[in-house]
Structure 1
Amino acid sequence: MSHHSSLEPIYSTLQRCFIGIGLISNLILINLIIFRSPKDLGLYKYLMAYIICFELFYIILEFLTVPDLLTLDYAFFIIVDPEKSLLPENWSQVADLIYCGAFAVSLVIFGCQFAYRYHVLKGNSSWTASTPRNFIFWLGTQAVLASFYSYFVHAFMQRNDYSKKIMKNVGYTDYRIESVGFIGLIFYPKLDNGTQIINWQSFIGVSVTTATLFASEFTMIYFAYKCFQATKSFINQSGCSSKFRRLQWQLFYALVAQAIIPILFMQIPMTMIYTSTIVLRRSIPAIGHLQSMTISIYLAIDALPTILIIKPYRDTVIRSLFFWKKRKVAPYQTNSSNSKQQHASWTNF
């Protein structure tokens, strides 16, 4: 039986299209953050730029590796195949580990961002001041967690005799089994006599990695709620202009939208994989293809909420798209105060 699907060329084409969209949208956003950000964002501006740089790295990694997510019965593999990858063969295993670490960072990174926003709103300057210590803490936490995640993936999800049998059953030759980058989980392998056993190594690996992701999600939800409360309290204080209040809500809503996207397109499909392989033991290749596609969709659209919700960014994009209308509209705006009010009513968030 071959592991290749007749739809695989379509999957690969769609993935590359989404990668191209993600590359363009993230390049636009990082330029907006650098050149069009409000002056009072402080260190948060660099944290936003850090997220975009990470997503650009993830996009490039996805483009270079084009990983296959193979799900079958009680097994789940992440494979970087040199025949599809643009990297040298001896880089395949390292690229696979980095890819898994990037998956973890995509969820961890927003918990850190919510936590930072919360400390800004509470006025905890010791955590938010632009000092070397804070730069290292806020920008380095994700790298530490990714390294921790990748270490356990490497320790407990290596190829073994069980994985080789399954890969042979789905069409891989002995040479390709050894040449591909491989990360895999086989929960209930079968012995030569047909007896099915529990592979505790896979269960330990998935327990550690899943606990890491759940801890990051709990942190994100906790600080998201605290951030919501702090935002309401902060903008109700006297002395805040309406423009500043709108900006605080825009930053909050943009961050919420950015955090929801990886949960919808990465964590939920991954939960489906674990359910079908661990609980049901009846996973099918289509679920792995779905996860591959949703990761590409996440990379394509995650920058869009920030571009569309934060008004200085949105206005810059609109002006760029409709630059030829600028001079025609200007005389009407200057001649009528009513038209100014109408313009403000739909451009304000």
Structure 2
Amino acid sequence: MSNFVQNRIQDISATISVLLNIILIFLILTKSPKKLGSYKYLMLYISLFEILYSILDVVVSPVIISKGSACLVISYIKNSMLSQTINIVLHTSYCGSFGTSMGIFALHFIYRYLTATGSKYISTFESWKMICWMLIPITYGIIWGLIGYTFIGPNAYTNDFMKNDIEYVFGWDIRDTIYIGPHFYKTDSLNFTWIDKNAFIAAGGMCIILLSSIITILYFGVKCYKSINNMVKDRVSTSSSNFKNVQTQLFYALVIQTIIPVLFLHIPVSVIFICTFLELNIGLFGGIVTISIALFPAIDPLPTMFIIKIYRDAIIGYVRSFLHYTKIFPNKNCAIQSISNHPKDISTPNS
């Protein structure tokens, strides 16, 4: 897949991501019921991160290239108006943002579980302590970025090993690039192969972050699902139908928001690590992963926007009003009531 095609897809994905997340931020600020509580700020935090992530993706324009036991996330900076130092910071921040996203997923599911079970610890999200919770993903990102730049950043051996392939595939001089990526096994002029300990240290640290996110999502996701099921079973009266609807919305949003990062982030990155470790050339898969990572922030807002009823109704209302006032759909009956008059059927945080 050509670099031009990848960049255009990244640009389009970033534009969609910024637009959708701005719309979601507007809905969160204007349509969220008061009972949503501090979860509103967590959703805003996630949306703002995804906007920043998308902007970084466009500015850095990373691509993935592999050869043998080396796999690099690389950016071309020759035509950049920014200094090399700033480009290094941006590239490292982009790589670190993947670690931040891992922390955000974990935090998201921890909050969901505490809310569903009515845990006393949910109060820690309703005070200044929420800042401490939000610092966890940022810490994940800083650690990921520092590990990458310190242990698997540019070095003379990898430059010599990859320069011909980079020039052949992209037409770039490696001196005009910035990259981060492991090179597990190295060979000298006598064909003696040794293990690069820095690559294994970096891979170990990143795998710990990745696995901690996956384990947290699975553990709290399953416990949250069981808790919701138990609560719904306990409320069998007809008056609890609204409660059941709310919990169903929460469950579907939870499931989809688990599938999205697993499919677009966890699995692709895990496959790259495994293939590189086993010296399996990923070929076109590197381009697919680059696009997959870029698509994630453009898709992630959709479950919240369309599964959560109060947000979905607001979007439908705005679309119908737009069609009515632009005479595309002039039937006056299609204009629905203002969402502010719509009964608020959300009694618990449920994005």
Q: Does 1:18 align with 2:23?
A: no
- Is 1:289 the counterpart of 2:287 in the alignment? yes
Say if 2:146 is the partner of 1:151.
Answer: yes
Q: Unaligned stretches of 5+ in structure 2? A: 338-351
Aligned to 1:138: 133
- Give the corresponding residue for 1:317: 315
Whether 1:327 aligns to 2:332 is: yes
Q: Which stretch of the first structure deviates more once superposed, 294-303 or 246-255?
A: 246-255
Moved more, 251-260 or 16-25: 251-260
The percent of aligned pairs where both chains have the same amino acid is 32
Query: TM-score scaled to structure 1, two decimals?
Result: 0.85
- Give the Cα separation in 2 of the matches to 1:144 and 1:12: 29
Which residue in the other structure is 1:249 paired with?
A: 248
2:346 equivalent in structure 1: none
Written as runs of structure 1 = structure 2, the 5 A alignment for 1:164-313 is 164-171=159-166, 176-238=173-235, 241-279=240-278, 281-313=279-311
How many residues in Structure 1 have an aligned counterpart in Structure 2? 325
Gaps of 5+ in 1: 334-349
Partner of 1:74: 69
Letter in 2 for 1:223: F
- How far is 1:87 from its partner? 4.3
Change (3 A) 1:268 1:87: farther
Distance (Å, rounded) in 2 between the aligned partners of 1:142 and 1:302: 17
| Structure 2 counterpart of 1:342 | none
Closer/same/farther in 2, CA of residues 86 and 80 from structure 1, 3 Å limit: farther
Deviation at 1:227, TM superposition (A): 0.8
Structure 2 CA distance, aligned partners of 1:169 and 1:197? 22
Per-residue CA deviations over 1:35-78 (Å, capped at 9, x if unaligned) read 11122111111111111111111011111111121222211111
Offset of 1:138 from its aligned partner? 2.3
CA contact (8 A) 2:68 2:276 kept: yes
| In 1: Cα distance, 2:198 partner to 2:53 partner | 28
1:71–1:287 contact (8 Å) kept in structure 2: no
Which string of whole-angstrom CA distances, capped at 9 and with x for unpartnered residues, describes residues 117-144 of structure 1?
2112222244335543331122111112
Superposed displacement of residue 260, structure 1: 1.7
| Structure 1 residue identity aligned to 2:308 | I
User: For residue 123 of structure 2, what is the aligned residue in structure 1?
Assistant: 128
The aligned amino acid for 2:332 is R
Would you say the 8 A contact 1:273–1:283 is kept in 2? Answer: no
Using the TM superposition, name which of 149-158 and 126-135 deviates more. 126-135
Whether the 8 Å contact between 1:71 and 1:273 is mirrored in structure 2 is no
Q: Deviations over 1:175-230 (max 9, x none)?
A: 95445332121011221223222212101210111111101110111000111112
Given that 2:167 and 2:174 are in contact with CA atoms closer than 8 Å, whether structure 1 keeps it comes out as: yes
Report the counterpart of residue 341 of structure 1 in structure 2: none
- C-alpha contact 1:82 1:180 (8 A) present in aligned 2: yes
Letter in 2 for 1:283: N
Amino acid in structure 1 at the alignment position of 2:252 = Y
Q: Comparing 196-205 with 317-326, which one deviates more in the overlay?
A: 317-326
Contact 2:102 2:209 in 1 (8 A): no
Worse overlay, 109-118 or 187-196: 187-196
Give the distance between the partners of 2:138 and 2:260, measured in 1 at CA: 21
For the 8 Å contact 1:270–1:291, the answer to whether it is kept is yes
Q: CA deviation at 1:321?
A: 1.4
Structure 1 CA distance for aligned equivalents of residues 290 and 47 of structure 2: 21
Moved more, 315-324 or 146-155: 146-155
